[in-house]
Amino acid sequence: MVSLRAIAPSLTRITVAAAIGAALHIGQGNCDLIDQKAVDFSRAALAQTDIEGEVINCEGPKDNAPAFALREKVGTGRGPKVEFVVDPVDGTTAASKGRKDAISALACAPTECLQVLPDDGYYFKVATDCNSIGKITLDMTLEQIVRTVAKEKNISLGNFTVIMLERDRHKEMLATLRKLGVRIILIPDGDIAAAVVSCIPNSGVDLLVGAGAGPEATIAATAVKCLGGTMLARVWQDVKDDPKRLGRLIEAGVDVKKTYCEDELARGKELVFAASGITKGELLDGVRLIPEGAMVHSICMRLPSGTIERSETRLRFKGH
């Protein structure tokens, strides 16, 4: 039986393809074009991958953006049976404006391992490194979470760095963080990369907080688990929500009162996370177009080994 370890390089090629598709249209102001090209390119790469795969969740439906179909079958059908949660472009708006922090990312695991959090509204997320496993909960206040993580990492609040999406829904949290005196990195898009860097030693980022989309939570949790960190997520309820949203989530199998941890979002011990940079960001450099093609920077993590591989792919557009 072919293992996920054996196909990991093929999975990175999927995010590389999506990154190229999106990068060809950076700064043109067309979010749908960027999403569509990323989906098209990654779908083409998946079609050549020796797996019997299924996309169980994809970012996009919430914004009526181009996306993989729910339960879309992918691969040649000749390899291991696996499932995917895919975000062809995490940071579409950023890419459309030529701004930083856009990546392509996916999580892959054997079937029945990845939690589906539908792209329907938002989910509150917290991520940090191994020092705070079992020490924080989402029933704590934001101040309690920050103080606990800082204590476990032995960092003063003045040297503690929180990363979060710059959104109106985060105004109260932002005010709390500023009152605490911590350092804050506000990003326009891309909370997958933000969650990952919060778990990487010496990254300069200590904690991710904030509300973001569901597919990204599962993808990020896969990476966080590979890094030995901790991530918590639960349904974020907002006064602007469609009143039928909770019913849809329950029907999709989501426990709307539950706090999911990384082990529940990405179950099992055989997991792969892959990502490629589209524009320069906290985790990865962006795609560089060169005269004969492009250069793409990627990262791949997997369990059970805990291996982390960074790569630079050089593609030639001519003569093929």
Q: Quick check: 1 pLDDT over 90?
A: no
Average pLDDT over residues 216-245: 94
Burial of 246 per CB tally in 10 Å (0-12, 13-18, 19+): middle
> What pLDDT was estimated at residue 9?
86
Tokens read off for 178: 């500023």
pLDDT by residue (tens digit) across 16-56?
Answer: 999 999 999 999 999 999 999 999 999 999 999 999 999 99
Average pLDDT over residues 204-214: 96
- pTM, entire model: 0.95
Q: Quick check: 78 pLDDT over 70?
A: yes
Q: Quick check: 118 pLDDT over 60?
A: yes
> What pLDDT was estimated at residue 203?
95
Tokens read off for 22: 């999106």
Q: Indicate the pLDDT class of residue 60, thresholds 50, 70 and 90.
A: confident
* Helical axes 142-153 vs 171-180, angle rounded to 10°: 40
Q: What phi and psi, each to the nearest 5 degrees, are found at residue 215?
A: -55, -40
> What pLDDT was estimated at residue 2?
60
> What pLDDT was estimated at residue 319?
57
Distance from the Cα of residue 252 to its chain's centroid: 20
Q: What percent of the chain clears pLDDT 70, i.e. is strictly above it?
A: 99
Average pLDDT over residues 120-139: 97
Average pLDDT over residues 100-125: 95
* Average pLDDT for the chain: 94
pLDDT by residue (tens digit) across 151-160?
Answer: 999 999 999 9
Domain architecture of the chain: domains with CATH: 4-113+269-316 (3.30.540.10), 123-265 (3.40.190.90)
> What pLDDT was estimated at residue 5?
80
Distance CA 289, CA 317 (A): 10
